Amino acid sequence: MQYISTRGGMQPLPYCDTLLEGLATDGGLAVPEVMPTVDGETLERWRALTYPQLATEVLGLFATDIPREDLARMTEAAYAPFPAEVVPLRAIDDDITLVGLSEGPTLAFKDMAMQFLGQVVEYALERKGSVLNILGATSGDTGSAAEHALRGKERISVFMLSPQGRMSAFQRAQMFSLDDANVHNIAVAGVFDDCQNLVKELAGDLDFKRAQHLGAVNSINLARITAQVVYYFWAWLRATDAGGWTELSFTVPSGNFGNILSGFYAKQMGLPIRRLVLAANENNVLDEFFRTGVYRPRSADQTLATSSPSMDISKASNLERFIFELVGRDPERVLGAWRDLDSQGYVDFTAELARFEEEFGIVSGTSTHADRLATIRSVYEESDDVIDPHTADGVKVAREYVESGVPMLVLETAKPEKFAETIREAIGVELDYSAELRSMLDAPQHVTEMADDASALRAFIEEHALR
């Protein structure tokens, strides 16, 4: 299995080299040269596997350059910090089942891929005898998941950008309380998109990237996308009966389009998915795109600070991977789309609009703060289950697309403890924190504040990077 760029300017690379590269050398994103496929017989054979065993099988289709015994060792290590039931499914009413993706160390779904990424990046670096300086951006949960997966690793240093004042107090504490020498938290004056633009600018400077051994940990890194594919297969196998070919739908709270892209890949691989329902918050650029066919990102000052902050994104990086498939895997058409965006501020795909649902099964909806509060309240009253605001966005939009006879699964985003203020506002409940979490919240915080300035970031990395 080899990987190519959405923009056509990167020589095909194997899995390990691709994940160390991060952003492709031509500024595009790595995608499989040919998507692997899975048939019904294989699915049935996978039904009895544990989560690490299933991860080995699914990831083995992508990481063909890694010996199977090494891959199995890494998946076992990646999911060892989780409870025995790594991804539990729980019904909240007669129509909707939550896919529990928040059982990992940082209580958010990002752990599902990041724990594996930490294992496989270290493995790839040891094979090459090299080091990697991870440059990432986070709107809330990616940063803490990455830092907890990579802290203390000798060959890896982490430079994580976050938007000043845009994360919850819990999210900040999870990141800024770490004092590991290889973790560098940088709070940028701006929004997530500004952080993401800085990452792309520095990663796009190939001389700087090579000199500083820069890599990526955001969902622009293909290892994240492939690891997330696993739980779509897991959830389907748990929600269906043996021997059947049941179609079901998934609703995915979406900001950077990475989580739902993994479901899109699972569907392309042959998993019987009827619909992929994208749930946006007030920063609903993606909802507008899938409803109208026009992609019109918003500026930083138009990006709202909401009570589901991990979705406060107006320019989703991973949409490029979907557009690559939409335009028939034609890199020139991808580049043409970005030229249109630069010249007129939007890209018009209205001619392709019917294909979004009919061919790809993608539909969408928007949820507001009032919707989140009402949804958290209704779920709590009906099932005694407390859900976080991002998952509430998912449940609200999922209810609009429930179909008779088609199971609807909503991907849980995080534990509610990460967003205690919104939970208090919704249901008047003060959540209990363990002694460990209280200690984290009270711990000194270590963070460098920085202007939205690529030169300042370059200088900081040059001073602190591993060589």
Q: Which of 110, 153, 267, 415 is catalytic?
A: 110
Task: Report the alpha-carbon distance of residue 115 to residue 34 in Å, rounded.
Answer: 26
Please report where in the chains the tokens 């199971």 appear, as a residue: 407
Task: Report the alpha-carbon distance of residue 37 to residue 257 in Å, rounded.
Answer: 22
Please report where in the chains the tokens 């992609």 appear, as a residue: 295
CA dihedral 259, 15, 162, 294 (to 10 degrees): -50
**Nearest of 254, 19, 229 to residue 120 by alpha carbon:** 19
Tell me the one-letter amino acid at 424: R
What six digits make up the tokens of 368?
């507001």
What six digits make up the tokens of 47?
């039904």
Query: Three-state SS for 279?
Result: strand
What six digits make up the tokens of 333?
């058409």
What six digits make up the tokens of 238?
């748990």
Helices (H) and strands (E) in the chain, counts: 20, 15
Strands 273-280 and 248-253: parallel
Q: Are the C-beta atoms of residues 172 and 164 closer than 8 Å to each other?
A: no
Distances (CA, A) of 145 to 95, 141, 149, 160, 333: 31, 6, 6, 11, 34
Residue 331 region by backbone torsions, left for phi larger than 0, else alpha for psi between -120 and 50, else beta: alpha
**Nearest of 143, 217, 221 to residue 186 by alpha carbon:** 143
Q: Are the C-beta atoms of residues 255 and 414 closer than 8 Å to each other?
A: no
Does residue 110 carry a catalytic annotation? yes
Catalytic positions, written as ranges: 110
